[in-house]
Amino acid sequence: MVTIFKDTAYLSQQAAELFVQAAQEAVQKNGRFTVALTGGSSPKQLYQLLAQAPYKEQVPWQQTYIFWGDERWVPLTDERSNAKMAKELLLDKVPVPQEQIYPMWDEMEPEKYAQKYEQILKDHFQDQSPAFDLILLGMGDDGHTASLFPGTEVLQEKSSWVQAYYLAPQSMYRITLTAPLINQAKRVLFMTFGDGKAQALHEVLEGERNPEQYPSQLINPLNGSLYWYVDDKAASRLEKFK
């Protein structure tokens, strides 16, 4: 489902509503809410809203488990860290138990940590299917999402849940949930704003299938719902969805 918003404040408000709904439903059904956060600029307003009334009081934080969709492989004190941003804008301001927060970082080799993170997820989901209640995603101007970048090997991944790899153009390691795992989610929400994303958004939603170039095309939950919340700038090249 694609929803086009005139302003990003309203878009983020609707994203906060969806977050609350997903959290309340999950807790009512299964006693806990499992969410993967995203990094980048797109979720910042959402995180600020969730840390304030009325949303702060509506989310069952004590039953919430926080994971990440991806991370730049930098310490948690580094300005580029997706976890640092979420911590400062949201997690330090809400009563989510510390032991239920799983940042994607440790003092070890990234590939080893990817295996460890996968095990953490296996322990969390145990014998249930690894279906996040909600995964938040952004999309870069190049069509990447999470750390699924154009032309990278991780796009071919069919079985593992978490992968880390060196992203040469950025001279850094990245760690990411893989598309097969993301696609198990009950809800996936992309938030995408700005002119810079218009071409990629058009290609992802309306272009020929080419996930090697536009990895966001890989995201299509098997049994869940896919939401695209976009602003009118990002939507400016869409034809079918207007």
Binding site for ligand LXAUTJHC (CB under 6 A): 38-42, 70, 72, 82, 137-138, 140, 146-147
Q: How far is CA 83 from the centre of its chain?
A: 12
Query: Closest residue (Cβ) to ligand LXAUTJHC?
Result: 40
Distance CA 169, CA 153 (A): 14
**DSSP run (H or E) holding 172:** strand 172-177
Judged by beta carbon, residue 42 or residue 63, the one nearer ligand LXAUTJHC is 42
Q: What is the DSSP code (8-state) at residue 148?
A: B
Distance CA 36, CA 188 (A): 9
Judged by beta carbon, residue 137 or residue 204, the one nearer ligand LXAUTJHC is 137
Judged by beta carbon, residue 34 or residue 42, the one nearer ligand LXAUTJHC is 42
CA count, 13 A, side-chain hemisphere, 178 = 22
Distance CA 113, CA 108 (A): 6
Judged by beta carbon, residue 44 or residue 186, the one nearer ligand LXAUTJHC is 44
**Residue 4 C-beta: closest distance to ligand LXAUTJHC, Å:** 17
